[in-house]
Amino acid sequence: MMINTHTKSNFQVLSDDSLTIDNTGKISPRDTQDKKLMKMGISNYYFQLIILPTEKCNFRCTYCYEDFAAGRMKQETILGIQALLESRCADLRYLNISWFGGEPLTAKDIVLEISEYAMSLAYRYPKLRYIGDMTTNAYLLDYKTVAILANVGVREYQISLDGPREVHDKSRIRADGSSTYDRIWANLLAIRDSSLSVSIILRIHFTADTFKLINPLIEDIRREFLHDSRFGIFFKAIERLGGPNDASIKIFSEAEKEEAVKSLKTKLFGENLASSQNVSVSDNTVCYASRPNSLVIRSNGDVGKCTVALYDERNKIASLQPDGTLRLIPGRLAPWVRGIETLDPTTLGCPLVNLP
pLDDT tens track for 159-182: 999 999 999 999 999 999 999 999
Q: Please compute the mean of the pLDDT values over residues 262-281 and round it to a whole number.
A: 94
pLDDT tens track for 233-245: 999 999 887 888 8
- What phi-psi label fits residue 41: left (phi over 0), alpha (psi between -120 and 50 degrees) or beta? left
Torsion of CA 97, 100, 101, 106, to 10 degrees: 70
The whole-number pLDDT of residue 24 equals 30
Q: Please compute the mean of the pLDDT values over residues 143-169 and round it to a whole number.
A: 98
The whole-number pLDDT of residue 101 equals 95
pLDDT tens track for 243-259: 888 888 888 888 999 99
HSE-up of residue 50 (Cα within 13 Å, Cβ side)? 21
The whole-number pLDDT of residue 18 equals 35
In a domain, 99, yes or no: yes
Average pLDDT taken over every residue of the chain:
88
The alpha carbon dihedral of 109, 172, 306, 12 has a sign of: negative
Give me the phi and psi of 256, to 5 degrees please.
Answer: -65, -40
Residue 282 sits at the vertex; the CA angle it makes with 278 and 283, to the nearest 5 degrees, is: 140
Q: Is the pLDDT of residue 270 over 80?
A: yes
In a domain, 355, yes or no: no
Q: Is the pLDDT of residue 232 over 50?
A: yes
- Give the predicted TM-score (pTM) of the model: 0.87
In a domain, 356, yes or no: no
Closest CA to 145 of 94, 104, 173: 104
Count: domains in the chain:
1
CATH number where 338 lies? 3.20.20.70
The whole-number pLDDT of residue 285 equals 79
The whole-number pLDDT of residue 248 equals 84
Residue 284's pLDDT band, with cuts at 50, 70 and 90, is low
| Strands annotated E in the chain | 3-5, 19-21, 27-29, 46-51, 94-99, 129-136, 154-161, 199-206, 231-237, 294-297, 302-304, 318-320, 326-328
Write the secondary structure of 24-59 as one string of H (helix), E (strand) and C (coil).
CCCEEECCHHHHHHHHCCCCCCEEEEEECCECCCCE
Structural contact between residues 42 and 87, judged by C-beta atoms closer than 8 angstroms: no
Q: Please compute the mean of the pLDDT values over residues 117-142 and round it to a whole number.
A: 97
User: Lowest mean pLDDT: which of 37-41, 187-191, 210-214, 237-241?
Assistant: 37-41
The whole-number pLDDT of residue 282 equals 67
Domain containing 309: what range? 3-349
pLDDT tens track for 57-99: 999 999 999 999 999 999 999 999 999 999 999 989 999 999 9
Residue 44's pLDDT band, with cuts at 50, 70 and 90, is confident
